[in-house]
Amino acid sequence: MRLAVLATFATLSIGLVAPVRAQPAQEPPLTLSQAIDRALTANPGLVGDRLQTEVARAGVAVAGQRPNPELALEETRETPHDAATLSQTIETAGKRRRRIELAEAGVAGREAQLARAINDVRNRVRRAFYTLVFAQRRLAETTDLQHLAERTRDTAKARFESGDVPRLDVLQAELSLAQADNETQSAAGQVAAARVDLNTLLARPPETATTVAEEAGPLPDRLPEGAAAVHRALTANAELAVLDRGIAEQKAHVALTRAQQTPDPVLSGGVTHRSPPEFDWGWRAGLTITLPIFTHRGAAVQVEERTLNQLQAERDARAAEITGAVYSAATTAATRRRELERFRGQILPQAEEVQRMAEDAYRSGQTGLPALLQALQATRDVRLRALQAEADYQASLADLENAMGAPL
CB 27 within 8 A of CB 195: no
- CA 12 – CA 169 distance, rounded (Å): 52
Q: Is the peptide bond before 277 cis (omega within 30 degrees of 0)?
A: yes
Contact 242, 113 (CB under 8 A): yes
The predicted structure's pLDDT at residue 374: 85
Q: Please report how many Cα atoms fall inside a 13 Å half-sphere around the Cα of residue 348, on the Cβ side.
A: 15
Q: Maximum distance among all alpha carbons in the chain? A: 141
CB 60 within 8 A of CB 104: yes
Residue 123: its pLDDT value, please? 92
Residue 17 has pLDDT above 80, yes or no: no
Helix H segments across 237-297?
A: 238-259
Q: How far apart are alpha carbons 386 and 251 in whole angstroms?
A: 53
Question: pLDDT value at position 220?
Answer: 56
**CA-closest candidate to residue 340, choices 381, 385, 379:** 385
225-260 pLDDT, tens digit each:
778 888 888 888 899 999 999 999 999 999 999 999
Strand partners, 283: 271
Q: Which of 68, 57, 69 is nearest to 100 (CA)?
A: 57
Percent of the chain at pLDDT > 70 equals 91
- Position 215 scores a pLDDT of 67
Q: If you average pLDDT over residues 357-375, what whole number do you get? A: 84
Summarize the confidence of residues 6-25 as an average pLDDT. Answer: 41
> Judging by beta carbons within 10 Å of its beta carbon (0-12, 13-18, 19+), is residue 118 exposed, middle or buried?
buried
In the prediction, which pLDDT does 10 show?
Answer: 42
The pLDDT confidence band at residue 9, using thresholds 50, 70 and 90, is: very low
Question: Residue 294: its pLDDT value, please?
Answer: 84
